Each structure stands twice: as C-alpha cells, then as structure tokens.
Amino acid sequence: MQTKITAAGAASGAAARPSMFSALQVRHYPALLSAGWLWNMCRWASGFLGAYVANRLTGSARLVQLTGVAMWAPLLVGGVLGGVVSDRFDRRRTVIGQYGVLIPLALLMGVADIAGALALWMVYPFLVMVGIGWVIDMTSRRAIIYDLVGADRLDNAMALESLSSASGLAIGSLVGGSAIQAVGVGAAYLCLAGLASVSLLLFLRVPPVRRSTERRADPPLAALRAGFRLLRTETALVSVLGVTAAVNFFYFSFTPLVQLVGSDLGAGPFLTGLLAAMVGVGMMAGSGFVARQRPRRRGLVYVGGAAAAMVLLLPFALSPLYLVALAFLALSATGMGLFGSTQSTLVMTSVDAELRGRALGLLSTAIGGLPIGMILLGELAEVIGARAAIVASVLSGTVTLAAWLLWRPGVLRLTA
C-alpha cells in the first residue's frame, strides 16, 4: 500500500542552508525530476525527428514549420483545460495516462519507417499527441513538484526543472540527429519509445503526494470561466503571460527552421542536430545561473533574458559560417534559460495556492500562441527565405515586447 507524503514531511531532514541543488534533498524529487528530464528529451527529439522527416520528404519551409505547429497547438487549445484537469483530477494518474498513449505511438512510428511505410501525414498526428502530453506534463507533473517540495524550495526546484528541460532539448536534438545518421529514422523512433518507458518507470517511483490545497469541485465549464477570469483580476499574472506570449510567438517559432538553416550551411543530420542542441546548451547555462544565484529580482531576470535572446538571435540568422551561427545560437539560448527558469515560478507565486493549476493552464495557453507564429513564419520563409524570416520575426518581437512592458510593466516589479 502506497503512503501519501506531504511537502513538509518530504522536506524534513533537508539541509537548512540552501544550495544550487537543495531541492534534490527532498525525498522523491530526484525521481520526479529525472522522469521529467527523460520526458523532455523525448519531446524535443520528437520535434527534431518530425522536422527532419518533413524537410527530407519535401524541402518546404511551410511543411517543416507545420511540424512545430502540430506539437505546440495543444498548448493553445488545451492549456486552460489542462489546468482544470490538474485542479480537479488525480494528477499522478493523468501523467501516467499520457505515457500509455505516447509509448505505443512511438513504437508504431518506428515500425512504420522500418517497413518503408512512414508518410508525412503520420508525423503530424504523432506530434499532436506529444503536444497533449506536454500540456499534461506542464499542468499536472509541475503542480506535483510544488506539492512535493513546498514553497521554500520552489524557486530552486523550478530552476532545476528548467535546467532539465534545456538539457533534454540539447540531448534530444543531438540524439535525434546522431540516431538518424547512424541507424535511421525508424530506430530513432524506437529509441524514443525506450526513453519514454524509462521515464514512466521513474515517475512510478514517486508515491501519491498530498495536495497543498483540496481539489476544486467546480463544474468543468465554470472552472474554465474561472480560469479565464484570472486575466481580469490578477494584473501581475497578466503581465507575465504577455511576455510569455510575445516571446513564444516571435522567438521560439524559429526552431523548426534550424533544419533549413543547417541545410543552407551545408550541415548533415549530425551537425544540424548539434546546431539545434545549442538551444538546449544555452538554456542550461541560463537555468544553471538562476538555480545557483537565486536572483531576487525575478521579473527583471525574466524580461532581461527574453530581450537578450531576441537580440542575439540576429547574428545566428545572418551568419554564413556554421561555427559563428552555432556560437550565437548558444548565446541567444542562454537568455532563454534565464527566461524559462523563472517563468513557472512567477506564474505560480502570482496567484493563490488553489489556483496554481489554472494559472499554469493559462501559461500553457500563452505558450500555445507559438503555433500561430510558426504558421506565419513558415509562410514568410516560403517567400523571403528562412534566414530573412527569422530576422523579421525577432525584430518584430523586440518591438512588441517593449510596447507590452510600457503598457503592463507589473512583471518588472516581481521579486523573490
């Protein structure tokens, strides 16, 4: 029989003096973090594989971008609903359920490619399911983190979470590119199924965790309306979400186009995977800084990281040299590490405890604006080329971010 644990009980015996890895002293958090790390690796590898297949079969910027749209679209349409599910239902069972769908689908993709039957149309629904799993991970597994580690260690835990996401991005992209070059696309999908299975086994080691608040009992439609009402009452949350929406719409929409930039630079699958991995490497550096230093002015770190990321992406898009593009993409992503490692913490601490799941759902929805940006960027890239389209997007994003902060500057005042 499994025993429920509380955040206070889990944290007992942890060192009184905080450190960069203090959250790891909380019982069961290492297993929860490791499960998320492997899940993130699978997610980013899935995105890399999907973009690679689309580029290999068509060479079309539009169809490559649509792979990103498929993976990110569930965050737009399902983010708030995911928050309601997180607040109303058993979070642990919800997370387990998404593994039960993802693992068989990854196996089927691998078998289809090995049999010579993998078609482009199969890639898109698979990535939609990965995106649904992403919503569940963000709204349910991350809410479990708060219940497990408590408020005192939340900053550190979420910085480590961002670090695991970034390293998952780096390793997932690199593994995807390496596996394609070494053994082919089908074997790479089978590797995804294996990684997801190990992630599930790690997650199963975490026992049910007592919630810091009781489940919400509102009817589903009322719960959805209550989630959106937060946008009228929580001004600090709105400021944070606006920055999130701008960054995802104008910045992150470029990621599938790394395939085309790599091709333009003469890179094969491995070097293109290495190029894509720089996004994760840079985010690891930024996240590591936040985990170690725990800056008090969270809001400034959040906004400053986003602004730096946009500016530093310009040399990546304009450089004719692979190594220069590689270096500036890593530097740009370092700013994204500062942004990403403070994002969830700002959202969860800007609302009352019983509304955290819904606030995270709104965060998913704000991130979900990315598919729209990807569609528009793909269409623009079809006309003026991938590099010029990235430049136009980043410049527009910088102006939009500045305008939003002039109107809604609340995030700049948020502190630890």
Specify whether domain 28-413 bears CATH 3.40.50.620: no
Shortest CA distance to 53 belongs to which of 166, 188, 182?
188
Of the listed ranges 35-44, 86-95, 251-260, 393-402, the least confidently predicted one is: 86-95
Inform me whether the pLDDT recorded for 14 exceeds 50.
no
Tens-place pLDDT, residues 177-236: 887 887 788 888 998 899 999 999 998 888 776 665 555 555 555 555 666 666 776 777
pLDDT score, position 345: 77
By residue count, the chain amounts to 416
Residue 285 C-beta-side C-alpha neighbours within 13 Å: 15
Q: Are 404 and 242 in contact (CB under 8 A)?
A: yes
Q: Are 286 and 305 in contact (CB under 8 A)?
A: yes
d(CA 407, CA 405): 5
**In which residue are the tokens 């550190």 written?**
156
> In the structure, what pLDDT confidence band is assigned to residue 254 with cuts at 50, 70 and 90?
very high
Of the listed ranges 51-65, 165-179, 209-223, 347-361, the least confidently predicted one is: 209-223
Quick one: average pLDDT of 160-166?
A: 76
Question: pLDDT above 70 covers what percent of the chain?
Answer: 82
Phi, psi of 412 (to 5 degrees): -65, -20
Single pTM value for the model: 0.72
> In the structure, what pLDDT confidence band is assigned to residue 6 with cuts at 50, 70 and 90?
very low
> In the structure, what pLDDT confidence band is assigned to residue 95 with cuts at 50, 70 and 90?
confident
Tokens of 223: 């719960």
Inform me whether the pLDDT recorded for 251 exceeds 90.
yes
Inform me whether the pLDDT recorded for 336 exceeds 70.
yes
One-letter amino acid for residue 196 of the chain:
A
Most confidently modeled range among 269-273, 322-326, 350-354: 322-326
Most confidently modeled range among 87-91, 275-279, 354-358: 275-279
Number of Cβ within 10 Å of residue 182's Cβ equals 11
pLDDT score, position 321: 95
Quick one: average pLDDT of 263-288?
A: 88
Q: At what angle do helices 154-183 and 269-293 cross, to 10 degrees?
A: 170
Shortest CA distance to 287 belongs to which of 347, 346, 345, 340?
340
Tens-place pLDDT, residues 139-149: 778 777 777 77
Tens-place pLDDT, residues 117-159: 889 999 999 999 998 888 887 777 877 777 777 766 766 777 7
